[in-house]
Structure 1
Amino acid sequence: MKNCPNCNSETEDNFEICWKCNYSFTEGKIIEFKDELPGGKEIDCLRCKVPMHYSGIYKFHEGNKTGLWGNVFEIFVNRESFDLYLCHKCGKVEFFSP
């Protein structure tokens, strides 16, 4: 075990990056990792001018579930999917077609 010089947490000897603060032992600095989800784009909020966070693909459908056989009839319902982006500063939500 070795100690991180940045946050003083114990890290396995074979790790090159601290698990707690992302300090790189080989480069001697903290590494910033971007959250990269599949389909994610870098989009700024139009109100706040801060980067919006990709929240994933959300699927919506038109119509109601009908009683006991509701799940069976779901195959006949129109489904749409959208990429969802959130602004954590103002709460704005943006939908984009994938």
Structure 2
Amino acid sequence: MSKLTALAEYVHTWAPIATQLLASDNDAVKMYGVKIQQEVDVKKRQLEAELGEAKAILGMTLATHPSQHKEVSSPELVEHSTIHGCTETQVKTECTIEL
């Protein structure tokens, strides 16, 4: 599991739990919520820093490497292509294209 994934999963899992605990009428439960929220805030900052670094690296990579995609030699192939098996995730949509 990548560091980005681990941080994102931590924040995604624990942020709502901290919010629920902070809304409690029980002071001991609230204090536990405060501690969890502090950890979530630390992980969020780490995640933002990692994402910033990844974006910078990706930007440098894209700027220094020419595209690896081949140009379409026959536009009619694209016009008559069929998209199969699209899968949408939170990050991107991946499709298989059959020409």
Question: What band does the TM-score fall into relative to the shorter chain?
Answer: under 0.3
Which structure has the highest strand share of the two? 1
Q: TM-score, normalised by structure 1?
A: 0.21
Which structure has the highest helix share of the two? 2
